[in-house]
Structure 1
């Protein structure tokens, strides 16, 4: 997990919206390309869902991670 991953999850959770990498980029210090790459990793880990092409929302697993109920160590062992 990276600092960007935390920002992505926090932004999705705080907004409670379905967002694109472009919108996330406009609200963070990361490029759209980098966020697209990280969103793919977060999707593979089950922390975000791709609702449609280029649109993402946080999952219950992502919320559990933010709340401290899913450790980064567990995700590291899953190669995130």
Structure 2
């Protein structure tokens, strides 16, 4: 699910968990939980209440420039 969330956000849009959930066919609650974890890892950034965007770190993760091991080391 994380990859799908990052893929949707990679379009350069600021989106709510509800819109992301709709686009990846998952529940809003599940997407909200994953966004919280992705935010802790620095892959997405909360812009304002219930609005998120992908970070440079998130884009690097999507393109393979940053791997899972590097995320766990921090």
Relative to the length of structure 1, the TM-score reads 0.87
For residues 25-40 of structure 1, what are the structure 2 equivalents within 5 Å?
A: 25-40=21-36
Runs of 4+ in 1 over 3 A off after TM superposition: none
1:77 Cα deviation (Å)?
A: 4.2
Whether 2:3 is the aligned partner of 1:23: answer no
What RMSD over aligned residues (CA atoms) do the two structures have, in Å? 1.0
Q: Per the alignment, in what secondary structure is the counterpart of residue 24 of structure 2?
A: coil
Give, in whole Å, the separation in 1 of the partners of 2:4 and 2:52. 14
Residue of structure 1 in register with 2:8 after alignment? 11
Residue of structure 1 in register with 2:49 after alignment? 53
Q: How many residues align?
A: 74
Give, in whole Å, the separation in 2 of the partners of 1:71 and 1:43. 16
Residue of structure 2 in register with 1:65 after alignment? 61
Q: Which runs of 5+ in 2 are unaligned?
A: none
Q: Which runs of 5+ in 1 are unaligned?
A: none
Give, in whole Å, the separation in 1 of the partners of 2:6 and 2:14. 12
